[in-house]
Amino acid sequence: MEPPATAPKCSSRRLLFDRRYGWVVDEWKDPSEEALAGGRGMFCVLPLGKTLFQTASQSINSAVNFLDMKIQKWANPPIHNPKASFVDTSGDSGSVVET
């Protein structure tokens, strides 16, 4: 197969009759040039795989961070001092009274 630059240029357009559409102009394109022309509405596995990997990594990181926070909270429970403050329910304001 000759490289595209040295290949002889012949007419790539021709008039064809199609039973479904009638007379149509058909343009033949070299498959090797079309493959490198940029997509044509198809998908590529590499970007899809990269996005899937990034999404999975973010999900795993979020789950690990959440579990790490919960384990730290269980390992170091907050010390509750019942005499430190209480809610004054005798008045109308419902304010916190420090002792």
* 46-99 tens-digit pLDDT: 888 899 999 999 999 999 999 999 999 888 877 766 665 555 556 555 555 555
Break the chain into its structural domains and give their ranges. 44-75
Q: Which amino acid is at 59?
A: S
User: Confidence class of residue 15 from pLDDT cuts 50, 70 and 90?
Assistant: confident
34: Cβ contacts below 8 Å, ≥ 6 apart: 40
pTM for the model: 0.36
Q: Are the C-beta atoms of residues 27 and 13 closer than 8 Å to each other?
A: yes
Number of Cβ within a 10 Å radius of residue 30: 13
Q: Are the C-beta atoms of residues 84 and 99 closer than 8 Å to each other?
A: yes
User: Confidence class of residue 18 from pLDDT cuts 50, 70 and 90?
Assistant: confident
Q: Are the C-beta atoms of residues 13 and 25 closer than 8 Å to each other?
A: yes
Q: Are the C-beta atoms of residues 25 and 14 closer than 8 Å to each other?
A: yes
**Could you tell me which residue, 25 or 4, shows the higher pLDDT?**
25
